[in-house]
Chains A and B, each alone.
Chain A
Amino acid sequence: MKSIQNIGLGLFLVGLTFFISLIFLGKYELSPTNFDKFVANKGIKSNLFINEIKANIVGQEFDGSFAFSSKVVNTLKSVNNIHKQNSEWDKVIWTKPHSFAYEIAKDSGKGIIKENKGVFWWLTFGLGIIGALLFIIPNVITLGPKGIKNNGIFLSSATNRGWIGWVVFIFLVGFYLLLYFWPDYIINWTYIVDPISENLSGNLASQWFLYGFLYCTVMTVMAIRMYIKYRHNKYQILRTTSVLFFQIVFAFLIPEILVRFEKPWYDFKNAFPLDYDFFFSWSLDELIASGGFGLFILIWGIVLTLMIVPVMVYFFGKRWYCSWVCGCGGLAETLGDPYRQLSNKSIKAWKLERWLVHGVLVFALIMTGFTLYAYFSGNQSVLGIKTQTIQDIYGFLIGAIFAGVIGTGFYPIFGNRVWCRFGCPLAAYLGIVQRFKSRFRITTNGGQCISCGNCSTYCEQGIDVRAYAQKGENIVRASCVGCGICSAVCPRGVLKLENGPESGRINPTEILLGNDIDLMKLINKK
């Protein structure tokens, strides 16, 4: 078994090496016809730019995306500078340089990778998946009989912030930086998923399609790990199946198929304010432009946030969204599961959490207020602040850095729910409902707690579950996503996630069940 796992690990690393090396490989040549098409599509008015590109790039072969992109980016920047100095505002190209370079480069790749997309898919994704499965599936035997097997988690450098953890951290952060800020360097990755994208939406793959496909792949493989690890626990199995389903069908397949039918790309489960650009003017314009269906999406999006979300939280707690439906939660509960024990349980972290997560919610709401005001009034700025600027700041700080780079990149260091706990505005909203108006709680089983700390250790949201359980109190916390792991790891059967009557849900106690009944009455009455 161990040797199968080692072979699997080897294959996975070979696949990963291929994947990473793709960044540095490939040849790029922009053909005159492609460039003409590009200029026409983008409506580029700068002759200076067109001439520069024609003189220095078109028809020349570049080795690797770095050489090609840097040339495009530099040209763009210098031409833009000239136009800006001359106040030729209509000639300035406003697209972000690296996104712009991405679009040109996407058309320009040639050679072995672009001609053998299938082969390279197998060398990267294929080897990665097979290797990972060979590594994971023998766990059925190596973990021993079904049950909680957290053996060695704090003895392993992968799961206890050791060198493997730091390597994974660097890889993940690097990946997100490329994805968000330097997509022009990962063109080759998008080539290998082009065939899949063409089959779904009819278009070539963008970096976001690549991300979506990779996301689904990683979640599926790691969901298999979850199925094996928690095969004794039906709650975990159903929950994992649910997040996997919503990710693949709602976040990936349906939006791509909508595009095929020339409808707006839309993820029906992605609720505002997590879906922070839902009310941006381009989004509203797009929805309104696509007629009845667009209007349906618009109404659905509003109903989802204002009605469905709070009503469901009332009946089931925020878990129905955060750990059964949400894509961010889905990745956290699959890829992130090995890191859940790394969340910070201190009271300080809890304080920081409340400031940050509610701060982001307020930020999102103010931004949306400004945006809607601008949309309906026609003004570009509110109180002297350009709405575009606020949107850009939010998109950069919250959408990219917080949700992506920190949220996922920091899994191996801060645990798997950094974004969900500290950053997600939707989680903040759900949390407020859960804390004050919900039937959900984690029930503490009388006086059975032995303060061992497994529950707190494995709480991905950094809730000190034990602090409540050892006092015989139910756990009612805004941040609880109802993953159910505290209940699973409890060796004494103390914790149960329940949707019960609201009254008595919060039950502060001084003396626990099992002691003198008169004494309990005397003390707990106070």
Chain B
Amino acid sequence: MEHIVILGNGISGVTLARHIRKLSDKKITIISAETEFFFSRTALMYVYMGHMKFEHTQPYEKNFWNKNRIELKKGYVTKVDSKNKYLLFKGGEVFPYDKLILAVGSKPNKFGWPGQDLEAVMGMYHKQDLDKLEKYAPNNKVCKRAVIVGGGLIGIELAEMLHSRHIPVTFLVRESSFWNGVLPEDESAMINREILSNGIDLRLSSNLKEIKADEKGKVKSVILEETGEEIACDVVGLTAGVSPNIDFLKDSGIELGRGIKVNRNLETNIKDVYAIGDCAEQIEAIDQRRSIEAVWYTGRMMGETLTQTICGNRTEYKPGHWFNSAKFFDIEYQTYGWVWSQTKENEARFYWEHADGMKCIHINYDKNTREFIGINTFGIRMRHEFFDKVLTEKRKVEYVLEYLADANFDPEFYKLHEKEIVEKFNSKNNTTILLKKKSWSRIFNLQA
């Protein structure tokens, strides 16, 4: 029986294992050094915040793995011998495989800041980071201030986490506005306001110069690059992005770039070795996507796709239309299609913001063909199916506005804003779009 060994028990590896089991009888082993069972990394924040216990982040019950004959092995792999097809564990154990799937995820970036390895300096990525945070920032007596370095999704989540325990937070963001490499100016400004209104000490255009230690080697303060200001703190969170966790593969013969190089079939340069999820780097980026996508959904899709190849139906990884979501304190964010931070030459934009400054939508379309390109929606939930279909059918922006009521996914009885949105679009563009009433049969057909 062919032995499929999956290195990494995150969403990519586990999705792959589940689907292989559905299609085949192969022997499957998942290896992880981090935790015994699969858990949702994106939910770690809720454990610290007290919304959930760690067990709640585990989507499958313990006997699920037995029942599906997926073997779990805890251990740290130090070396891959792709010639002789075995893994070497810390402690010396040799573990053979027939097919190896690398789903090893990422690690937090460190940019060589002085003091970056001090005690109480941490990322927020692994289960171990959560344990560390619980140790160094259990409350605002032990941790009188925390400094977060890096203004991305993990940074703002860490800010929310610490804020939930009333720990004062200074948030250093290199950019001139939060996440403005991804978000257009308006949305980015909205999130700046949200961060400030939660009492976070947001420092835009601010870089870390160094982290200083006390006499015991624990964090004492940070120094800012621009002003030289020293900020006393007890914890430093490094959240300046993540990069593939591939150091242990250096001498494996597997071709590496920033990540593990894979072709469209998610195959590496070495036969029977594949890579999926955060750690995989497409040799050529797909469509307008990045070559490395550290996103939950892409990890899962790669797992779904590679299953086919492993089970004998060699299949290209062809992700559909881009989508993503996040939550910034109390503001939910969803995106479908592309809305770049900067408008491209062929693009036109339509922006609507609610008077309360907590909701907005931003639509991107082709100014010549008027084809819909993408939407950002903040504070209003929208249907994935609706936009996926609109993008597939290459609908025009006017169509999207006309049927916007079908797209709404907010809970029942919520105030609807489509009318106001369409009116604003009409007045900006001299159009006469009439909003169609929500139709179950249209929505339903979309789901077919």
Contacts and interface: CB of A to CB of B under 8 A. Distances in A.
Interface stretch (A98-106, A218-226, A448-456): A448-456
Nearest to A498: B412
Nearest to B381: A493
Contacts of A454: 43, 46, 51-52
Nearest to B387: A446
Nearest to B414: A234
Nearest to B47: A154
Contacts of A510: 19, 22, 304
B319 A514 contact: yes
Interface in A338-366: 341, 346-347
Contact of B301 (A341, A443, A497, A514): A514
B369 interface: no
Contacts of A443: 409
A146 B331 CA distance: 10
Interface in A198-250: 232-235, 238
B447 interface: yes
Interface residues of B, number: 64
B280 to A, nearest CB: 15
B198 A144 contact: yes
B315 interface: yes
Contacts of A453: 40, 43, 46, 52, 56-59
A457 interface: yes
A467 interface: yes
Contacts of B364: none
B329 interface: yes
Interface stretch (A185-193, A329-337, A383-391, A516-524): A516-524
B442 to A, nearest CB: 11
A153 B51 contact: yes
Contacts of B19: 510
A150 B49 contact: yes
B198 A145 contact: yes
B411 interface: yes
Interface in B212-238: none
Nearest to B389: A513
Interface string B24-60: 0000000000000000101100110111110011110
B61 A346 contact: yes
A491 interface: yes
A446 B323 contact: yes
B263 interface: no
A456 B58 CA distance: 11
Given A453-B57, A507-B447, A448 B52 contact: no
B441 A501 contact: yes
Given A466-B59, A497-B411, A155 B50 contact: yes
A491 B332 contact: yes
B305 A519 contact: yes
Interface string A293-332: 0000000000000000000000000000000000000000
Contacts of B323: 446-448, 514
A448 B318 CA distance: 18
B444 A493 contact: no
B370 interface: no
B320 interface: yes
Interface residues of A, number: 61
Contacts of B305: 515-516, 519
Contacts of B334: 448, 492-493
Contacts of A154: 47, 50-53
Contacts of B325: 448, 450, 492-493
B185 interface: no
A445 interface: yes
Contacts of A347: 61
Given A452-B57, A457-B52, A515-B319, A238 B22 contact: no
Nearest to A497: B412
Contact of A235 (B59, B61, B413, B440): B413
Contact of A445 (B52, B315, B409): B409
A146 B194 CA distance: 12
A515 B301 contact: yes
B43 A450 contact: yes
B327 A511 contact: no
A156 interface: yes
Given A152-B164, A154-B52, A487-B411, A496 B381 contact: yes
Contacts of B72: none
A493 B415 contact: no
B398 to A, nearest CB: 23
Contact of B413 (A153, A234, A448, A467): A234
Binding site secondary structure of chain A: loop
B13 to A, nearest CB: 14
Contact of B42 (A447, A452, A500, A501): A452
B265 to A, nearest CB: 12
B384 A447 contact: yes
Contacts of B448: 504
A309 B47 CA distance: 40
A445 B414 contact: no
A428 B315 CA distance: 46
Contacts of B69: none
A488 B327 CA distance: 13
Contacts of A496: 381, 409-412
A512 interface: yes
A491 B51 CA distance: 12
Contacts of A174: none
Contact of A492 (B308, B316, B332): B332
Interface string B315-339: 1111111010111011010100000
Contacts of B417: none
A377 interface: no
B11 interface: yes
A151 interface: yes
B388 interface: yes
B441 A511 contact: no
A409 interface: no
B50 A446 contact: no
B79 interface: no
A512 B296 CA distance: 13
B423 interface: no
Interface in B263-309: 296-297, 300-301, 304-305, 308
5 contacts: A145-B198, A154-B50, A154-B53, A516-B320, A519-B305
Across the A-B interface, the 6 shortest Cβ-Cβ residue pairs: A446-B384, A147-B330, A493-B381, A452-B43, A516-B318, A152-B50
Interface of B: 11, 19, 22, 40, 42-43, 46-47, 49-53, 56-59, 61, 164-165, 197-198, 296-297, 300-301, 304-305, 308, 315-321, 323, 325-327, 329-330, 332, 334, 381-385, 388, 392, 409-415, 440-441, 443-444, 447-448
Interface of A: 144-148, 150-156, 232-235, 238, 341, 346-347, 443, 445-448, 450-454, 456-457, 466-467, 470, 484, 487-489, 491-493, 496-498, 500-501, 503-504, 507, 510-519, 523
